[in-house]
């Protein structure tokens, strides 16, 4: 759209310049007639006839025609180059849109695979572990005080089953947000932040949610949850922060023109920040940006040495999710 507007403005400027040249030419002709410029030039050059000065006007006219032809050729080449550039930009925009759709499709497939894997771990492995533990508990109860070796083996089996249960729970938590499907995004975020507080008691974490989250799509729920999850992981690994604030405003930011239905996610900490300024490299942040841009949204990152770290994700009204 910007290219089309620029092309129209360029064409309008060209027309204005052409009208200006025509008006100036007409004005010069009027002045020449009024002052009989040609007769005066002829009278002025007659004493120097031997130098053929009277041929200068014709020569200048031919030069002007040659320059006009040269300008026409260059303008034609410029228009052709402009058309090629606009076509290349159009192809680039289509390629970027296709890449965005592929990225979104990849995220969807990845989350679906995680959901299926979490279900399999819960249904298959979890049930078998429960069966093993129940049998081990029964063996322990029947052999207590009689068969010491069998009793100890049963206790060991129970301990191993409990350990595997804990490992499976951690895997399920990483694969699929706890309670996201059953309880919704708000409950899943609260559970995430609560678990993070338990693991990082030295850092204060606050979660504020404004507006309803019921109408958010699956892609939006996953994107927001993963953004908060990755940001908290970065705070743990790098920030050395005393506090982190997570704000999710589902009513939109009026200053940004999103209006009702827009989503604004802000994550800020008071840690050490970075020396690299706003454009901070990192695979985690690259993944954040890809998730947000796949939803036709915007991610802003601000940081500075001793100024903390701030991530702001803006999802437009009606959260423009592409269908793949």
DSSP 131-174: HHHHHHHHHHHHHTTT-HHHHHHHHHHHHHHHHHHHHHHHHHHH
Same domain, 204 and 311: yes
Do 202 and 296 sit in the same domain of this protein?
yes
Statement: residue 259 has pLDDT above 50: no
State the Cα–Cα distance between residues 293 and 276, nearest whole angstrom: 22
150, 175, 200 — which closes off a domain? 175
Host domain of residue 65: 2-103
What Cα–Cα distance (Å) separates residue 150 from each residue in 128, 161, 162, 320? 21, 16, 18, 62
Residue 96 and residue 111 share a domain: no
Structural domains in the chain (count) = 3
- What is the CATH number for 261? 3.30.565.10
Q: Are 219 and 295 in contact (CB under 8 A)?
A: yes
What confidence tens digit (pLDDT) does each residue in 3-19 have? 544 667 777 887 888 78
For residue 92, being part of any structural domain is answered with yes
Q: Which of 70, 103, 136 is the last residue of a domain?
A: 103
Residue 11 lies in a domain: yes
Query: Of 142, 175, 208, which residue is a domain's last?
Result: 175
Do 98 and 112 lie in one domain? The reply is no
For the segment 81-111, what is each residue's pLDDT rounded down to a tens digit?
989 999 899 888 888 877 777 777 777 777 7
Does 199 share its domain with 300? yes
The better pLDDT of the pair 148, 317 is held by 148
pLDDT tens digits along 43-76: 777 777 677 766 777 778 888 888 888 888 888 8
Give CA–CA dist 135/76, Å, rounded: 87
List pLDDT tens digits, range 297-316.
888 888 766 677 889 998 87
């Amino acid at each position: 759209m910007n290219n089309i507007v620029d092309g129209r403005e360029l064409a309008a400027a060209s027309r204005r310049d052409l009208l200006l040249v025509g008006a100036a030419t007409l004005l010069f002709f009027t002045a020449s007639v009024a002052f009989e410029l040609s007769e005066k030039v002829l009278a002025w050059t007659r004493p120097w006839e031997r130098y053929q000065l009277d041929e200068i006007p014709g020569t200048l006219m031919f030069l002007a025609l040659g320059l006009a032809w040269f300008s026409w050729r260059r303008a034609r080449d410029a228009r052709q180059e402009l058309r090629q550039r606009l076509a290349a930009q159009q192809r680039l925009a289509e390629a970027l849109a296709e890449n965005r759709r592929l990225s979104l499709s990849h995220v969807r497939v990845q989350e679906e695979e995680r959901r299926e894997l979490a279900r399999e771990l819960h249904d298959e492995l979890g049930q078998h572990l429960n069966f093993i533990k129940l049998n081990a508990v029964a063996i322990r109860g029947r052999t207590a005080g009689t068969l010491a070796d069998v009793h100890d083996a049963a206790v060991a089996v129970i301990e191993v089953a409990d350990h595997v249960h804990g490992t499976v729970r951690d895997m399920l938590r990483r694969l699929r947000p706890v309670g996201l499907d059953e309880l919704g995004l708000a409950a899943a975020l609260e559970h995430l932040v609560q678990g993070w507080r338990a693991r990082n008691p030295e850092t204060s974490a606050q979660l504020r949610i404004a507006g309803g989250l019921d109408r958010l799509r699956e892609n939006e729920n996953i994107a927001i949850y993963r953004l908060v999850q990755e940001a908290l992981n970065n705070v743990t690994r790098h920030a050395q922060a005393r506090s982190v604030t997570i704000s999710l405003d589902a009513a939109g930011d009026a200053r940004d023109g999103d209006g009702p239905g827009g989503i604004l996610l802000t994550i800020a900490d008071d840690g050490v920040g970075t020396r690299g300024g706003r454009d901070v490299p990192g695979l985690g942040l690259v993944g954040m940006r890809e998730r947000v841009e796949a939803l036709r949204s915007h991610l802003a990152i601000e940081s500075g040495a001793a100024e903390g770290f701030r991530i702001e994700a803006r999802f437009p009204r009606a959260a423009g999710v592409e269908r793949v």
